[in-house]
């Protein structure tokens, strides 16, 4: 049997039987709690010019500081991205196989998220990295992007099929603790259409966030900023309007492809109920942030250092983010 499966089974048995895992001998023996519970979700910062960004996940791997990496296949029913597009319901996963889970990242902007792992038991300690296993081969309709005209293209992750998507971000599991983490896919930085290739490329810019230690930045944008002379955004669907978030109170405000790109971003959308143009940036670590708006986001190529993008910093910027709270930054 696979050593990883044996390792995980031993942990589960220990927790169920309340045995003294690794405990010393004698007497009635007190219980030694040596594991914590790990859950992992995904979210995204949106991108223009696409209706859906579908990524096909199969598993997660984590690396303890001491010892070998632990591979965790997804569990539950399976649904490929093509099945999702064809409205085919999830089906039972064959015994002994990892589940296939297709997630529409574009549906998770702001504080939305989707679950990959729930209640996974891990040994307490420090972990050096986390890796996501995805199906995203060149020329294969496994992971898929649906463009605004309704056409569907293969979404290719360089080396994704072989090495997955690795985040070199440390995290800690406390004995007896419950830990909810989220991985942010910043699609505005990540999705592009390389010249000479039929596929779209997803080269993710990923952040690992502890959900218990994160807050949000929310706000509105005055409509006058959306119709300025240099704007290329579309007030019919909101494409091209974005708020960029930078770490630090004195951050250098610059565009995506520059030497000072934003940490993350959010689209600005019309709230039909309030008639206000609003944005919501979720899952930010506590601290100071600078906040800027652009009505030329669709022209901001993350592969180019200078696209001549105009960025307007809010008079409410910088702002301080506090865990489990909303910080409001409006424009103007």
Each residue's pLDDT tens digit, 171-213: 999 999 999 999 998 888 888 887 767 788 888 788 999 999 9
pLDDT value at 130 more than 90: yes
Radius of gyration for the alpha carbons in the chain, expressed in angstroms and rounded: 22
Using one digit for the tens of pLDDT, what is the confidence trace for 53-92?
999 999 999 999 999 999 999 999 999 999 999 999 999 9
Quote the CA–CA distance of 9 and 21 in Å, as a whole number. 13
User: Which is more confidently placed, 109 or 150?
Assistant: 150
User: Which is more confidently placed, 139 or 159?
Assistant: 139
- Residue 14 has a pLDDT of 38
| Region of poorest pLDDT, from 92-96, 143-147, 234-238, 318-322 | 234-238
pLDDT value at 30 more than 60: no
Mean pLDDT of 262-277: 94
Residue 139 DSSP label: T
pLDDT value at 145 more than 70: yes
Mean pLDDT of 109-125: 91
Quote the CA–CA distance of 45 and 256 in Å, as a whole number. 13
Quote the CA–CA distance of 136 and 155 in Å, as a whole number. 6
| Region of poorest pLDDT, from 44-53, 116-125, 258-267 | 44-53
* Residue in this structure with the two tokens 């001998």, named with its chain if needed: 25
- Residue 47 has a pLDDT of 79
> Percent of the chain scored above 70 by pLDDT?
89
Mean pLDDT of 8-31: 38
- Residue 158 has a pLDDT of 83
Residue 12 DSSP label: H
From residue 157, how far is each of 50, 63, 163, 221, 240 by CA, in Å? 17, 22, 10, 34, 24
Confidence band of 9 (pLDDT split at 50, 70, 90): very low
Q: What are phi and psi of 78, to 5 degrees?
A: -115, 145
- CB count within 10 Å of CB 7 equals 14
pLDDT value at 282 more than 80: yes
Instruction: Indicate the average pLDDT of the chain.
Output: 87
Which ranges in 135-226 belong to alpha helices (H)? 160-163, 187-190
Please report how many Cα atoms fall inside a 13 Å half-sphere around the Cα of residue 26, on the Cβ side.
1
Mean pLDDT of 213-222: 96
pTM exceeding the 0.85 threshold for the entire prediction: no
Mean pLDDT of 256-267: 93
Confidence band of 161 (pLDDT split at 50, 70, 90): low
pLDDT value at 304 more than 70: yes
* Cβ-contact 153, 145 below 8 angstroms: yes
From residue 63, how far is each of 75, 115, 119, 165, 260 by CA, in Å? 20, 20, 18, 14, 30
- Residue 160 has a pLDDT of 62
- CB count within 10 Å of CB 210 equals 15
């Amino acid at each position: 049997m696979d050593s990883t499966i044996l390792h995980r089974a031993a942990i589960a048995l220990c927790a169920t039987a309340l045995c003294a895992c690794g405990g010393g001998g004698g007497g009635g023996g007190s219980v030694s709690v040596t594991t914590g519970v790990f859950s992992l979700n995904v979210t995204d910062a949106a991108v223009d010019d696409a209706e859906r960004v579908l990524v096909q996940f199969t598993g997660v791997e984590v690396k303890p500081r001491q010892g070998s990496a632990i591979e965790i296949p997804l569990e539950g029913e399976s649904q490929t991205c093509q099945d999702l597009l064809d409205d085919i319901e999830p089906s039972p996963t064959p015994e002994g196989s990892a589940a296939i889970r297709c997630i529409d990242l574009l549906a998770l902007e702001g504080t939305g998220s989707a679950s990959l792992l729930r209640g996974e038991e891990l040994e307490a300690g420090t972990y050096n990295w986390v890796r996501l296993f995805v199906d995203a081969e060149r020329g294969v309709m496994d992971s898929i992007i649906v463009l605004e005209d309704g056409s569907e293209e293969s979404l290719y992750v360089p080396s994704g099929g072989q090495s997955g998507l690795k985040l070199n971000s440390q995290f800690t599991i406390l004995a007896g603790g419950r830990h909810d983490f989220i991985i942010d896919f910043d699609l505005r930085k990540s999705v592009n259409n390389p010249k000479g290739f039929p596929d779209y490329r997803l080269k993710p810019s990923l952040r690992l966030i502890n959900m218990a230690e994160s807050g949000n930045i929310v706000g509105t944008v005055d409509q006058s900023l959306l119709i300025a002379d240099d704007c290329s955004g579309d007030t019919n669907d909101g494409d091209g309007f974005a708020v960029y978030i930078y770490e630090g109170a004195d951050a250098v405000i610059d565009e995506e492809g520059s030497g000072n790109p934003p940490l993350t971003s959010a689209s600005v959308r019309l709230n039909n109920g309030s008639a206000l143009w609003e944005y919501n940036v979720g899952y930010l670590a506590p601290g100071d942030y600078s906040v800027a708006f652009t009505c030329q986001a669709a022209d901001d190529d993350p592969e180019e250092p200078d696209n001549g993008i105009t960025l307007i910093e809010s008079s409410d910027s910088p702002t301080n983010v506090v865990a489990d709270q909303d910080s409001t930054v409006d424009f103007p």
